[in-house]
Amino acid sequence: MSVSRREVLKTWVALAGGALAASSGVLAACRSAAPRSGTVLDHDDQDLIEEIADTLLPTTASSPGAKAAQVGPVINVILTDCYEPADQRRVVAGLGAFRALCRRRAGGEFATLPRADRERVLREVDAEARKAGESHYYPLVRDLAQSAYFSSEIGMTQALRYIRVPGRWEGCVPLVPGQPAWG
């Protein structure tokens, strides 16, 4: 059985076109700010967790913050795909309690509060979490925020000291005050 060059080219184009169409849909979904279907966090929870992350990891003179790195969708995917249902429920319930705390103690939504009030609320929640131990939602939210930020392109290349192709290994490198950590 012989195959003509035309049939081979048609098959190759169909396969390449299908792969391109599938990958463009997947990549576009990764860039979307809206939560994908079947995720743990709804749009409001995703926005709130991104605001919390941006308060923990704000924009500075040397690097953009967590909001610029768009950590909300990443946190949502990690929480959905990598954590147990009990942890997922703990975060969702915790975000609800966090909203109530902001309204009660700070008089508004977290995103609308001045930076000083946002930091004060997070310090209060952190102190509460230290007393409660492993059952509290906040350590998980803080860890998710840090993981999502420092694994983002912005976190790796601007917040950390980044060398795309490292040179030789040096076991003892002097650090200067204010120097970012290595990524």
Q: At CA 137, angle to CA 98 and CA 150, rounded to 5?
A: 100
State pLDDT tens for residues 90-148: 999 999 999 999 998 878 899 999 999 999 999 999 999 999 988 999 999 999 999 99
Instruction: Measure the CA–CA gap between 177 and 88, rounded to whole angstroms.
Output: 39
> What CA–CA distance (Å, rounded) separates 128 from 102?
14
29-49 confidence digits (pLDDT tens): 445 555 666 899 999 999 999
Q: Taking residues 18-29, report their average pLDDT.
A: 53
User: How far, in Å, CA of 32 to CA of 165, rounded?
Assistant: 30
Comparing CA positions, the residue from 182, 146, 121 lying closest to residue 66 is 146
Query: Is the whole-model pTM more than 0.85?
Result: no
What is residue 61's three-state secondary structure?
coil
Question: Exposed (0-12), middle (13-18) or buried (19+): which is 120, by Cβ within 10 Å?
Answer: middle
